[in-house]
Chains A and B, each alone.
Chain A
């Protein structure tokens, strides 16, 4: 296990070139990710000055203040509620679509494209369109169903309305991941099941679901993180004076409000740090669960 001694000239050259090749990515990561991340940690302990100047270190001041404030916990709860709708629905519906579209039938690529399209649209544009669909007075939804529902202004349902947009937007992406997962399942299993006389439903639950579980787990995990960092939907759909906003706004929305509208970068950083810790804990739990839930063939 000699470290440097054992390196031949060729190995050394290779190592140097290896570093040279990853250097651009490393620099990018350090400048654009690591440095800002460290700055965020530091600023969360500061009462920040205007324009990034004159930061005063105040220890845990921001943390005690924001944690005593109900707004943060309400936003965290809103975000969790959003995730509870977005993640399961987008995963289950996408899985069903993927199974249906993973067969030999006419126009498969057309359907796949249609379901994938929302993913290609700019999120801001998607949110704008939904905002007008939901409009209480002039929206298409209320006009079709002859209702007067305040889809995005009633605190009781606004969070669901927003989550529906989230599900709709992410469906195509999850579906594509599932299709690629499905194609990796060897066909022999299904043939064997056919011979044994297993129904299609039985095949789905006993072959497809377990063999797809690594893909499912990957999607669930990335979607949970994605859902917990949601921002654009709330920002675009809800007006600042919408009465349901406080029951819908996500943690990142709260962060935006503090950091950019109120110019309080320190408090904004604190909110983000709390979110990061929350996501880290959740990811750890999920990683533990993986060992039990995921079937590795």
Chain B
């Protein structure tokens, strides 16, 4: 009898543990931040602690180092929690509706407008005016204005990012294909990808890989290279269904015919395929450098500037033919933060010149502060990441397309009824043209409903 009782107790224990593990693993955010919030609200009144939420694990170590430096001077501890991208927004929205937001957190162009308009973020105007260390003119304009609503500033620019072409030197060498240079057009990418995919077929190696979800770091850029816009400058429309937009996506389609099949890309992921040395080229954003820098075969991984589209056919890259998306996160403070002074002091520390330099030096991300790109380029010993910086001079930047509720159309574009159809059928140009028309309609409908 005793034995049975013990067994049932043990079983119950295991089940409770697995529940906890589910909370911790599946949606790791809620469990950790609930306890964290409780701790923060009790300690904050004593001036003790701030709850900070971010979504990128690659940046945790560097940011925590800067935050600890700040803690040493301010006496307030800052605990940074990482919540993965999808759950981050679910959690933040639930927190915003229920009045339980973290004190300090990242804002993103996808949702910034919604949060600002609903007064969920602390208005920083007075703080910035009183702060000698922050002058908004020193930051990338697009990022400053992104976090500005009705003339009020709701977040400080944390960083900015650009896109570059990543290639695996070893694969190019193995199949005797010339490696990408800054003078490459998308046509060159196609030729190289075709050569590698053909030669590497027996080894399961592909020349190129891109999924419909690689938008900002992928096909968006082709749309701009050929002269169209995913979202127009006024954030009220799109020209993706125009002839120029279709020309860009037609180039994409051509590359897809020699790239890894969509099913493979969806099941395994382009980054995993690349890091398994099964794909020769992908495009990626500067926020991902760390992940490739620390990868097993990082010595083979090289970056090149984004290819351009020789639209006018003069054999050179002219203005408006080479584009990279850029985006910037913002450090925001919850409007209901119990200790706004300490929270502002922290984000000011992250965003002033010294903090931004340090963030670049540590290789966390490129700065939101202008003029510290050198520090970032030097942060990765043995890996040349200058293509991310050079495109700012030698190409054009467009801000990551966003509207008031970006996710609605952004997700729809990646799925059936839009570009997934074309990714499935790369051989047929008509499917891609229809997908562009569908995309145009999807975006217009989404904006109309906002």
Residues in A lying within 8 Å of B, measured CB to CB: 50-53, 120-125, 135-138, 150, 152-154, 232, 239-243, 245-246, 257, 260-264
Contacts and interface: CB of A to CB of B under 8 A. Distances in A.
Given A120-B14, A263-B93, A51 B266 contact: no
A241 B415 contact: yes
Contacts of A152: 267
A240 B93 contact: no
Contacts of A232: 26
Nearest to A246: B416
B408 to A, nearest CB: 5
B314 interface: no
Contacts of B123: none
Contacts of B117: 50
Contacts, number: 91
25 contacts: A50-B117, A51-B93, A120-B14, A120-B15, A122-B18, A122-B21, A122-B25, A125-B26, A135-B267, A136-B264, A137-B204, A150-B263, A150-B267, A154-B263, A239-B266, A240-B414, A241-B213, A243-B262, A245-B416, A260-B90, A260-B93, A261-B407, A262-B407, A262-B408, A264-B408
A246 B267 contact: no
A240 B411 contact: yes
Given A150-B267, A240-B415, 5 more contacts: A122-B18, A154-B263, A241-B415, A246-B415, A262-B408
B29 to A, nearest CB: 13
Contacts of A239: 266-267, 269
Contacts of B213: 240-241
B440 interface: no
Interface string B85-121: 0100010010011000000000000000010011010
**Chain B contact residues, majority secondary structure:** helix
Contacts of B86: 261
Given A120-B14, A260-B90, A241 B266 contact: yes
A51 B267 contact: no
A242 B420 CA distance: 9
Contacts of B264: 136-137
B424 interface: yes
B415 A245 contact: yes
B211 interface: yes
B407 A243 contact: no
A203 B45 CA distance: 72
B113 to A, nearest CB: 10
B22 interface: yes
Contacts of A137: 204, 264, 267-268
Nearest to A131: B267
B74 to A, nearest CB: 31
Contact of A241 (B90, B97, B204, B211): B211
Given A241-B420, A243-B420, A50 B118 contact: yes
A140 to B, nearest CB: 14
A276 B408 CA distance: 25
A80 to B, nearest CB: 20
Contacts of A120: 14-15, 18
Interface in B411-429: 411, 414-416, 420, 423-424
8 interchain residue pairs of minimum CB distance: A124-B26, A153-B263, A122-B22, A52-B97, A239-B266, A51-B97, A241-B266, A242-B266
Nearest to B23: A122
Contacts of A245: 415-416
B405 interface: yes
Contacts of B268: 135, 137-138
Given A136-B263, A241-B262, A263-B405, A125 B415 contact: no
B33 interface: no
Contacts of A243: 262-263, 266, 416, 420, 424
B212 interface: yes
Contacts of B267: 135-137, 150, 152-153, 239, 242
Nearest to B11: A120
Interface string B38-67: 000000000000000000000000000000
Contacts of A123: 22, 26
A241 B263 CA distance: 9
A124 B266 contact: no
Nearest to A53: B118
B435 to A, nearest CB: 13
A265 to B, nearest CB: 9
A261 B118 contact: no
Contacts of B411: 240, 257, 261-262
Contacts of B18: 120-122
A14 B40 CA distance: 44
Contacts of A257: 411
- Give the interface centre of A150, A243, A260 by most chain B CB atoms within 10 Å: A243
B120 A51 contact: yes
Nearest to A125: B25
A269 B117 CA distance: 24
Nearest to A236: B26
A105 to B, nearest CB: 19
Nearest to A138: B268
Interface string B421-444: 001100000000000000000000
B68 to A, nearest CB: 32
Contacts of B408: 262-264
A161 to B, nearest CB: 12
Contacts of A264: 408
Contacts of B118: 50-51, 53
Given A51-B93, A51-B120, A260-B90, A124 B22 contact: yes
A232 B22 CA distance: 12
B415 to A, nearest CB: 7
Nearest to B262: A243
